[in-house]
Structure 1
Amino acid sequence: MIHRSALPLLFSVSICCAANWPEWRGPSAQGHASASGLPDTWSETSNVAWKTPLPGRGHSTPVMWGGQIWMTTAIEKAATPEETQRRLESNTGDQPLVVLSSVSLHALCVDGNSGKLLHDIEMLNVKDPQWAHQLNSYASPTPLIEEGRLYAHFGSFGTVALDTKTLKLLWKNAELQVMHENGPGSTAVLSGDRLIAHFDGSDQQFIAAFDKNTGKLAWKTPRSGEMDPRPQQRKAYGTPLIVTINGQPQVVSSAANNIYGYHPQTGQELWKIHYGELGFSMSTVPVADDQQIYFSTAFGKSAVIALKHAGVKTPEVTWRNNKNAPKMCSPVLHDGLLFYIDDGGIVSCVDTKTGEALYRERLGGKFSASPILADGKLYFCSREGVVTIVPAAKEFKILAQNTLDGPIMASPIADGSALFIRTDKALYKIGK
């Protein structure tokens, strides 16, 4: 069972049985896994129960329900050299991009016991899609799963609900459009019958919710906070978190330059806090305990910020740590400690009450995947395919480092005594 003493809040997705991993950051929505006895060492030839090659390209984290593992992928068709040049000339940034003539977005299902690829289902087919950053994919947002249903969000390309028993598409909605600039990145969350997602583009910025049963737009709320005048500094790829504040669930939503609170059913803005400095392009989700919310402002003048929500009408800043803030990797909370890793491989352990760093240590490598906590240990996965295990404690120690073939962009998941890791080409089951 998950140690609820560290997670006293109520979240939109309830704690499920050990066989289920319903969303990107697990049953708690905060990266905690109900697993024990996971292997500390493995390689391509040891402690691998199975390895399943995956078609296409995708960075979405697997989700699991009833022994089935689901994820998304993109089957890409490259644009012609002339079309690539034309579209690159309209790019306002200076980052390496992927330009396609079309992309087919699929849901994949793998059997958790055997590793057999059970289903490969096309959900959307998009002509002339927006370009994507080379570190991103067209299937980066993680789907959500519940009994009998999978929800796959692909940003402006569309959102789809799939019946996981009949394999029929229940609904599609592609009416909400923004210019992502670097491809879709925000993962949706569930709160009751609302499927809530960020749409923070360079051209417009808002948060919206779909009715999970029909796919119809339930509400759409523009971002109201002060933002940088430059369009590139208005985009973001964050994911919301449902937190119980003053006895009521709220959508805590970090965006460019501001963090907001919304009513999950109506989309009413309840509060907002300006960062006080530039912050944009985050790909993270906040974490929270019964006192505070913790989040990163990502690019710009990066900082990790704590907001007190307990006993106050509107959350207020309690501390700010300006060193080694993550831009892509979400943090993990455990026993009054906040752990996070920046893109360059420096892991920090911070006291949640004061913001004081108890240690900062370099693991080596570059990181996009968010870590998870399992059985008192933290698992950090690098773009070089290295998984580093350290204790979730005040003292830093590398317990093990293990390497798989290919970059790891998706976050790992764990269940029982097995770890599941998606690389750029395959899904692994580590353990028995």
Structure 2
Amino acid sequence: MLCFRWVSGAWVLMGLCLMASESVLADGSWPQFRGASGDGIVAGQSVPVEFSENQHVTWKTPLPGRAWSSPVIADDVIWVTSAVERTATDEERVAMMRESGIEDKKMKQLAIAKAIELKLISLDLKSGDVLSTIPLATIEKPDAIHSLNSYASPTPVIDGGFLYCHFGTYGTYCVNRKSGEIAWQRRFPLEHGVGPGSSPVVDGDVLVLIQDGMDQQYVIGLNKKSGETIWETPRPEFKDATPDTSKSYCTPIVINDSAGRHQLICMGAQWMVAYESKTGKEIWRLYHGKGFSVVPRPVFHDDVVFFSTGFGKPQLWAVRVDGSGDVTDSHVEWTSTSGIPARPSPLLHDGLLYVVSDNGVASCFDIEDGEMLWKERIGGDYSASPTLVGGLIYFGSHDGKVTVMKPGREANIVAVNEVDGKIMASPAIVDDAMILRTDSAIYRIEE
């Protein structure tokens, strides 16, 4: 879809709005994290405003293991990744962490398994029946992760007849969707610190992985057909960073700017950087400060990218994407520091930007100047990103509650729903149904 903007008395073509606020999923697919456009916006569909365990649930299927990756869908098949853990006793857990050099004071916020089995599971979209379980790898003595994370948090991506599963340091796998066979696999060792998080993205013939660890930070482009490395680009030099504040977990977005430049926008610790996806060559960079462990996926509209700066003190930035080189002093439209999430991604719709903080405060900003229009405590803790469908915004919390709000310049809560389990994964929307994953099951919710 082409986007235009009124500038100096005339309509100016702004390019192809890949992250715009009218995402059309006519083919009934949900191929990546936050949908076809990667922004959590769904047009032309609706799902129930009110639901529960006993209301509007067409089916519910238990899932093995622990994983916060979102479901992806194509050709009436749902795909999810999972990590089945071999649990350690309390004594084994302490011993394993000490063996890894983890200080006692940091152990409370971490989890560790004796071994993990990485799996890819397919389910029938209509019935919820499990169609296949594909073993990908068994990892002995995996690193410790944050207690809020999982070993299977990155969301896979569907491209044509293949599905790409990424587990950070534990491997990247290209799976044939028809045969279930692994077409190729690669492994890029990385010290995540608290586990994997960044989801893969396919742009043309390139599979892009963000590799921002404590020990090394780079972005890599692979040939999606063979897995061979096409390019590898190191991140910009950090300013007064420690290994812990060098890591990040963001998922890139792909956009075209008003000059027709195709950009791969990759958020990281301290720096936001745009690259050429075919070559890995840097287009522009921006220093956003001391933010690190960035999780929220950016959103894009009319030559401006909107993003959170991650942990530390999260900030919301609006930056023009039409520059070259270091644009830190020239392309910042506005910033905001109040109620900004470190985990959930923002949602942009009709000139307004919606966020929910990690501790359950929803806010709305005007994208033109960053003015906060309202702030509303909806309660709970949040990791999943909001989704807009049927003209309403759905926020899923750790305690299984889904708050439904009407978008607009005033806060308006329409419904509060609840399902069993913990919601850490962002939902998928197809065929007027919400495919919702919790820590123990997956649901099809529809009228």
Smaller-chain TM-score bracket: over 0.9
Aligned residue runs from structure 1 range 345-384, under 5 A: 345-384=360-399
The one-letter amino acid of 2:59's match is: W
The one-letter amino acid of 1:236's match is: S
The one-letter amino acid of 1:407's match is: K
Deviation at 1:12, TM superposition (A): 9.6
Question: Matched residues in 1 for 2:25 and 2:54: separation?
Answer: 32
State the match for 1:37 in structure 2: 46
Secondary structure of the residue aligned to 1:213 is coil
Report whether the alignment pairs 1:132 with 2:141: no
State the match for 2:407 in structure 1: 392
State the match for 1:232 in structure 2: 244
Asked if the contact 1:341–1:347 (Cα under 8 Å) also holds between the matched residues in 2, the reply is yes
Deviation readout 1:362-404 (Å, 9 max, x if unpaired):
1000000001111211110000000011012112111111000
Q: In the alignment, which of 91, 106, 109 is matched to residue 102 of structure 2?
A: 91
Q: In the alignment, which of 45, 48, 66 is matched to residue 57 of structure 1?
A: 66
Closer, same or farther: CA 228–240 of 1 in aligned 2, 3 Å: farther
Question: Matched residues in 1 for 2:91 and 2:394: separation?
Answer: 43
State the match for 1:116 in structure 2: 129
Secondary structure of the residue aligned to 1:399 is strand
Report whether the alignment pairs 1:183 with 2:183: no
Question: Matched residues in 1 for 2:357 and 2:383: separation?
Answer: 9
Closer, same or farther: CA 8–70 of 1 in aligned 2, 3 Å: farther
Closer, same or farther: CA 11–194 of 1 in aligned 2, 3 Å: farther
Closer, same or farther: CA 9–391 of 1 in aligned 2, 3 Å: farther
Deviation at 1:78, TM superposition (A): 2.4
Q: Count residues with an aligned counterpart.
A: 428
Secondary structure of the residue aligned to 1:405 is coil
Secondary structure of the residue aligned to 1:299 is coil
Asked if the contact 1:413–1:419 (Cα under 8 Å) also holds between the matched residues in 2, the reply is yes
Closer, same or farther: CA 411–427 of 1 in aligned 2, 3 Å: same
Q: In the alignment, which of 42, 47, 51 is matched to residue 56 of structure 2?
A: 47
Question: Matched residues in 1 for 2:339 and 2:124: separation?
Answer: 38
Closer, same or farther: CA 393–225 of 1 in aligned 2, 3 Å: farther
State the match for 2:232 in structure 1: 220
Q: In the alignment, which of 336, 339, 344 is matched to residue 351 of structure 2?
A: 336
So what's the TM-score if we normalise by structure 1? Answer: 0.94
Deviation readout 1:244-286 (Å, 9 max, x if unpaired):
12212111111001100111011111221111x3101111110
Secondary structure of the residue aligned to 2:225 is coil
The one-letter amino acid of 2:387's match is: I
Question: Matched residues in 1 for 2:192 and 2:359: separation?
Answer: 24
Deviation readout 1:46-92 (Å, 9 max, x if unpaired):
11000011111111000000111111000111246555223323126
Deviation at 1:11, TM superposition (A): 3.5
Question: Matched residues in 1 for 2:52 and 2:2: separation?
Answer: 30
Deviation readout 1:336-380 (Å, 9 max, x if unpaired):
101111100111110001000000111000000001111211110
Q: In the alignment, which of 263, 267, 279 is matched to residue 291 of structure 2?
A: 279
The one-letter amino acid of 2:49's match is: D
State the match for 2:438 in structure 1: 423
State the match for 1:19 in structure 2: 28
Report whether the alignment pairs 1:147 with 2:156: no
Report whether the alignment pairs 1:253 with 2:266: yes
Deviation at 1:100, TM superposition (A): 1.6
State the match for 1:319 in structure 2: 334
Q: In the alignment, which of 76, 79, 82 is matched to residue 70 of structure 1?
A: 79
Identical aligned pairs, as a percentage?
38
Secondary structure of the residue aligned to 1:31 is coil
Question: Matched residues in 1 for 2:237 and 2:305: separation?
Answer: 19
The one-letter amino acid of 1:370's match is: S
Asked if the contact 1:381–1:388 (Cα under 8 Å) also holds between the matched residues in 2, the reply is yes
Deviation at 1:225, TM superposition (A): 3.4
Deviation at 1:16, TM superposition (A): 4.6
Question: Matched residues in 1 for 2:66 and 2:293: separation?
Answer: 22
Asked if the contact 1:225–1:257 (Cα under 8 Å) also holds between the matched residues in 2, the reply is no
Asked if the contact 1:409–1:423 (Cα under 8 Å) also holds between the matched residues in 2, the reply is yes
Asked if the contact 1:12–1:190 (Cα under 8 Å) also holds between the matched residues in 2, the reply is no
Question: Matched residues in 2 for 1:77 and 1:379: separation?
Answer: 34
Question: Matched residues in 1 for 2:56 and 2:47: separation?
Answer: 10
Secondary structure of the residue aligned to 1:379 is strand
The one-letter amino acid of 2:211's match is: F
Identify unmatched segments of 5+ residues in structure 1.
none
Question: Matched residues in 1 for 2:357 and 2:236: separation?
Answer: 29
Asked if the contact 1:417–1:431 (Cα under 8 Å) also holds between the matched residues in 2, the reply is yes
Secondary structure of the residue aligned to 2:97 is helix
Asked if the contact 2:149–2:194 (Cα under 8 Å) also holds between the matched residues in 1, the reply is yes
